[in-house]
């Protein structure tokens, strides 16, 4: 397969496939920089290469086998609906005082990826997918999907004055000519988790319509796993988590107090940890898309059947588990809560209570160990498609009880929707 075939594959496939990364990314970047491409370099589809941040890891209860990731959980949670004014509502914003300056003069606080909904002004066949404002040392671009990963409105950027940037378009985009300048005011929330760009004046009105707005910092280095990382108090949107199977941005909106973190956000899983959470252990809120019941075999296997009632019946019939169920509500949807206590379990001191369906892209199972407690909340989002929320902790009963209280407020704030 030559480089043009690879580029065609890149343009055609979904954004979370490995073909967008590694050698293909370097190949396309090399082509974009090649003198033989001439003016086409500015219009080429390119993949933004980023230095790795601290790699996000699953807690110790997650193992991997071949193409599957096997998850072992140990406890769970509850929820409701509350429509926020926007996907991300920071508590307040302020111009960054005396920001650290990169060698090129751009404040280093800006040098990263910032996620939000694709602006309505952007012409794309994927309007519900996330978009990213990406700041490099002396350049800014809007990254979105249009049959592939596209960098739009790429502009050289310089500091005009404190709190203000000047952008200069590097190539013609639609009716905007190369060299079109624009002045923008930037502000950050107190702990730099949200960025607001305000267009003061722009010779390219399309760029102003695309970039102006509020964007949320992402702290995971892998496309398709753009988790948000540290969260200050405020309201946030999931990025890639896809419980409705619609590939839309912001299917879960949630509000957290200061100090929580989002450490994983891919198609099948969303992880939220409290301030005392630890990625190497089990202590947080774990969301899973498309959950299924498991058998009572040793070891258990997915039954391939979803649905709240089926899963509740399967858990209640597992030897060694005492389960109490109740009807509740999560994000405006009817839900089932299962409170579980594990006594003498017959499968080496553990029992599987949830799993991904056979054939899932990511294989996982949630288990409880003898002496532990668990709360599972199940939500039927569509026919045979069930969202599972799990509050898990491998710490003391007192720590687990505290986590349940903290998690209840977070889950109670959730809004569930297949479109932002």
pLDDT at 299: 86
pLDDT at 7: 42
Residue 94 in domain: no
* CA pair distance 107, 157, nearest whole angstrom: 11
Identity of the highest mean pLDDT range in 54-63, 197-206, 351-360: 197-206
Q: Tally the domains of the chain.
A: 3
What count of other Cβ atoms lies within 10 Å of the Cβ of residue 43? 15
Residue 102 in domain: no
14 and 125 fall within a common domain: no
Examine the pLDDT at 345 and tell me if it is beyond 70.
Answer: yes
Beta bridge partners, 336, equal 327, 378
Domain closes at, from 217, 232, 250:
217
Domain closes at, from 176, 191, 217:
217
Cα atoms in the Cβ-side hemisphere of radius 13 Å centred on 256: 26
Residue 240 in domain: no
141 and 189 fall within a common domain: yes
Written as one string, the DSSP assignment of 345-357 is -TBTTEEEEEEEP
The 10s digit of each residue's pLDDT in 300-329 is 889 877 799 999 999 999 999 999 999 999
Examine the pLDDT at 261 and tell me if it is beyond 90.
Answer: yes
313 and 188 fall within a common domain: no
Residue 98 in domain: no
130 and 210 fall within a common domain: yes
SS3 244: coil
Examine the pLDDT at 50 and tell me if it is beyond 90.
Answer: no
**Cα dihedral 240/241/242/248 (nearest 10):** -40
Q: Which of 340, 392, 390, 399 has its CA nearest to residue 370?
A: 340
325 and 404 fall within a common domain: yes
Q: Is the pTM of this model over 0.85?
A: no
Where does residue 311 rank: exposed (0-12), middle (13-18), buried (19+ CB within 10 A)?
buried
Instruction: At 185, list the tokens.
Output: 């005011």
Secondary structure letter of residue 175 according to DSSP: T
Radius of gyration of the chain (CA): 23
132 and 193 fall within a common domain: yes
* CA distance readout (Å), 150 to 10, 43, 145, 223: 10, 9, 6, 13
pLDDT at 134: 96
Residue 193 in domain: yes
* CA pair distance 383, 368, nearest whole angstrom: 27
309 and 186 fall within a common domain: no
* CA pair distance 123, 198, nearest whole angstrom: 21
**What confidence category does residue 358 fall into, taking pLDDT thresholds of 50, 70 and 90?**
confident
What count of other Cβ atoms lies within 10 Å of the Cβ of residue 338? 23
pLDDT at 100: 55
pLDDT higher for 249 or 371?
A: 249
Beta bridge partners, 272, equal 262, 285
Average pLDDT, the chain: 79
Backbone angles phi, psi at 282, to 5 degrees: -125, 105
Backbone angles phi, psi at 73, to 5 degrees: -100, 180
pLDDT at 105: 76
pLDDT at 104: 57
Examine the pLDDT at 216 and tell me if it is beyond 50.
Answer: yes
**What confidence category does residue 334 fall into, taking pLDDT thresholds of 50, 70 and 90?**
very high
71 and 134 fall within a common domain: no
14 and 147 fall within a common domain: no
* CA distance readout (Å), 27 to 5, 23, 69, 327: 11, 6, 29, 54
67 and 112 fall within a common domain: no
30 and 79 fall within a common domain: no
Residue 146 in domain: yes
Residue 100 in domain: no
Lowest-confidence region among 27-36, 154-163, 282-291, 378-387: 27-36
The CATH number of the domain holding residue 302 is: 3.40.1000
Examine the pLDDT at 89 and tell me if it is beyond 90.
Answer: no
Full domain range(s) for residue 200: 108-217
68 and 164 fall within a common domain: no
The CATH number of the domain holding residue 156 is: 2.40.128.490
Domain closes at, from 184, 217, 250:
217
pLDDT at 372: 86
**What confidence category does residue 225 fall into, taking pLDDT thresholds of 50, 70 and 90?**
confident
pLDDT at 42: 29
* CA pair distance 61, 11, nearest whole angstrom: 36
Residue 163 in domain: yes
């Amino acid at each position: 397969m030559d480089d043009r075939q690879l580029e065609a594959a890149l343009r055609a496939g979904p954004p979370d496939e490995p073909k967008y990364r590694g050698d293909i990314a370097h190949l396309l970047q090399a082509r974009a920089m090649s003198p033989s491409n001439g003016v086409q370099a500015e219009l080429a589809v390119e993949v933004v290469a980023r230095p790795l941040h601290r790699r996000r890891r699953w807690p110790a209860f997650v193992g991997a086998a071949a193409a599957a990731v096997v998850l072992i959980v140990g406890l769970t949670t509850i929820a409701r609906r509350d429509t926020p004014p926007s996907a991300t509502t920071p508590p307040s914003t302020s111009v960054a005082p005396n920001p650290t300056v990169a060698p090129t003069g751009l404040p280093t606080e800006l040098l990263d990826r910032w996620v939000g909904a694709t602006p309505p002004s952007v012409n794309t066949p994927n309007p519900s997918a996330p978009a990213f404002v990406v700041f490099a040392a002396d350049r800014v671009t809007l990254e979105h999907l249009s049959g592939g990963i596209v960098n739009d409105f790429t502009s050289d950027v310089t500091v005009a004055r404190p709190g203000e940037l000047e952008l200069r378009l590097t190539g013609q985009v639609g009716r905007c000519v190369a060299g079109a300048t624009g002045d923008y005011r930037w502000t950050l929330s107190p702990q730099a988790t949200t960025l607001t760009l305000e267009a003061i004046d722009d010779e390219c009105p399309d760029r102003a319509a695309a970039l102006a707005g509020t964007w949320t910092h992402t702290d995971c280095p892998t496309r398709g796993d753009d988790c948000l990382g540290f969260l200050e108090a405020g309201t946030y949107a999931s990025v890639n988590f896809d419980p409705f199977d619609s590939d839309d941005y912001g299917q879960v909106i949630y509000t957290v107090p200061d100090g929580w973190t989002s450490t994983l956000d891919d198609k099948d899983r969303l992880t939220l940890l409290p301030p005392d959470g630890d990625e190497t252990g089990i202590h947080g809120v774990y969301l899973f898309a498309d959950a299924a019941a498991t058998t009572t075999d040793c070891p258990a296997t997915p039954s391939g059947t979803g649905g709240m009632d089926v899963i509740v019946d399967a858990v209640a019939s597992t030897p060694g588990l005492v389960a109490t169920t109740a009807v509740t509500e999560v994000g405006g949807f009817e839900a089932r809560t299962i409170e579980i206590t594990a006594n003498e379990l017959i499968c080496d001191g553990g029992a599987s209570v949830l799993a991904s369906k056979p054939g899932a892209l990511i294989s996982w199972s949630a288990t409880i160990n003898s002496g532990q407690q668990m709360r599972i909340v199940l939500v039927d989002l569509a026919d045979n498609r069930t969202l599972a929320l799990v509050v898990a902790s491998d710490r003391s009963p007192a720590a687990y009880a505290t986590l349940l209280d903290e998690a209840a407020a977070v889950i109670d704030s959730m809004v569930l929707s297949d479109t932002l």
